[in-house]
Chains A and B, each alone.
Chain A
Amino acid sequence: MNYFFNKNGPLISTYLIIAISFWLVFLIIIPQLYMFDLSFRPNIPPLLRGGPDDVYTLTHYKHFLFGSETSGESYNYVDVGVFRDTILIAVLITLINLCFCYPIAFYIAKVASPNTARLLIVSLIIPFWINELLRSFALRILFAGEGFINNVLLKLGLIDNGINFIAMDVALYTGLNYAYILLMIFPLYNAMETLDKNQLEAAEDLGASMLKTHFRIVIPHAKAGIASGCTMVFMLTAGALATPVVLSSPNTFWFTQLIYQWFNMNDNWPRGAAYSVVLLSVSVVFVLLMMKIFKVKIGEIVR
Chain B
Amino acid sequence: MKSQQALNILLGIYIFIFFTYLFGPLVIMSITAFNSAEFPSVTPWECFSLRWFNEGKIAYDGQHLAGLATDWRLHEGLITSLKIGLGVVLLAVPIGLSAALVLTQVHSRLRTAFYSISIMPVLFPGVIIGISTVVLWDRIATMGGGGLVTQLGRNGVFLTILAQTCFISTYCFLIFVARLQRFDQTQEEAALDLGANQTQVFFKILIPYMMPAIASSCVIAFLASFENYNTTVFSILSDQTLTTVIASKVRLGISPAISSLALVIILITLTVTIIYEVLKRREDKKKKELEAEALFAQTLDSRLKKTKTNGLKIPKSIFVILFFVVVCIFGFNKMVEKGMYGSTCIAAAEKEKKSNFADQLKLLQKNAEIANQRSSENGDVGEKKEFDSIFGDPNLFKDFGGFDSKVQDQD
Contacts and interface: CB of A to CB of B under 8 A. Distances in A.
Touch test A–B (CB under 8 Å): yes
Interface of A: 4, 6-12, 15-16, 19-20, 22-24, 27-28, 30-32, 34-35, 38, 46, 49, 100, 103-104, 107, 111, 120, 122-127, 129-135, 137-142, 144-148, 151-152, 155, 161, 178, 181, 210, 231, 235-236, 238-242, 245-246, 256, 259-260, 263, 269, 272-273, 276, 279-280, 283-284, 287, 297-299, 301-303
B136 A138 contact: no
B165 interface: yes
Contact of B131 (A122, A127, A145, A263): A263
Interface of B: 7-8, 11, 14-15, 18-19, 21-23, 25-26, 28-29, 32, 39-44, 94-95, 97-99, 101-102, 105, 112, 115-129, 131-133, 135-136, 138-139, 142, 162, 165-166, 169-170, 174, 197-199, 201-202, 223, 227, 229-230, 233-234, 243, 246-247, 249-250, 254, 258-259, 261-262, 265-266, 269-270, 273, 277, 394, 401-402
A89 to B, nearest CB: 15
Contacts of B112: 297, 299
A8 B115 CA distance: 20
Contact of B262 (A134, A144, A146, A238): A134
Given A7-B105, A147-B41, A283 B233 contact: no
Contact of B166 (A4, A28, A241, A302): A28
A32 B102 contact: no
Contacts of B22: 124, 127, 178, 181
Nearest to B32: A141
A76 B119 CA distance: 35
A111 B123 CA distance: 32
Given A16-B101, A279-B128, A299 B32 contact: no
A263 B234 contact: yes
A95 B120 CA distance: 24
A135 B30 CA distance: 11
A31 B131 CA distance: 9
A299 B202 contact: no
A57 to B, nearest CB: 16
Given A16-B101, A130-B266, A141-B40, 6 more contacts: A28-B120, A126-B273, A147-B41, A178-B25, A235-B123, A259-B131
17 contacts: A7-B105, A15-B94, A20-B102, A28-B117, A100-B18, A131-B243, A134-B246, A137-B249, A141-B25, A147-B41, A272-B131, A276-B127, A279-B125, A280-B125, A298-B116, A302-B123, A303-B174
A130 B26 contact: yes
Given A137-B258, A151-B43, A238 B29 contact: no
Contacts of B15: 103-104, 107, 120
B135 A269 contact: yes
A287 B247 contact: no
B98 A28 contact: no
A260 B127 CA distance: 9
A23 B230 CA distance: 20
Contacts of A140: 254
A260 B262 contact: no
A241 B229 contact: yes
B303 to A, nearest CB: 24
B5 to A, nearest CB: 12
A289 to B, nearest CB: 13
A122 B277 contact: yes
Contacts of B32: 141, 148
A141 to B, nearest CB: 5
A243 B249 CA distance: 13
B197 A241 contact: no
Contacts of A22: 95
A197 B120 CA distance: 34
A132 to B, nearest CB: 7
A186 to B, nearest CB: 14
A35 B131 contact: yes
A125 B262 CA distance: 16
Contacts of A273: 131, 135
Given A8-B198, A138-B29, A144-B39, A287 B123 contact: yes
Contacts of B120: 28
Contacts of B43: 148, 151-152, 155
A138 B28 contact: yes
A27 B166 CA distance: 6
B230 A31 contact: no
A11 B259 contact: no
Given A32-B132, A34-B139, A137-B258, A130 B124 contact: no
Contacts of A137: 29, 246, 249, 254, 258-259, 262
A36 B124 CA distance: 14
> Would you list the 5 A-B pairs with minimal beta carbon distance, nearest first?
A9-B198, A239-B125, A31-B132, A19-B98, A138-B25
Given A104-B15, A127-B22, A148-B41, A34 B124 contact: no
Given A130-B26, A137-B254, A242-B230, A151 B123 contact: no
Given A107-B11, A276-B131, A299-B112, A132 B229 contact: yes
A19 B94 contact: yes
Residue with the greatest number of chain A CB neighbours at <10 A, chosen from B125, B165, B197: B125
Given A23-B95, A27-B166, A134-B258, A239 B128 contact: yes
Nearest to B406: A167
Given A7-B198, A141-B259, A259 B127 contact: yes
B41 A27 contact: no
Contacts of B201: 9
Contacts of B118: 24
A231 B41 CA distance: 36
A242 B277 CA distance: 31
A35 B95 contact: no
Contacts of B394: 161
Given A19-B98, A141-B259, A129 B11 contact: no
Given A241-B127, A280-B128, A141 B29 contact: yes
Nearest to B249: A137
A125 B223 CA distance: 14
A38 B137 CA distance: 12
A148 B42 contact: yes
Contact of A46 (B23, B142, B170, B233): B142
Contacts of A152: 43
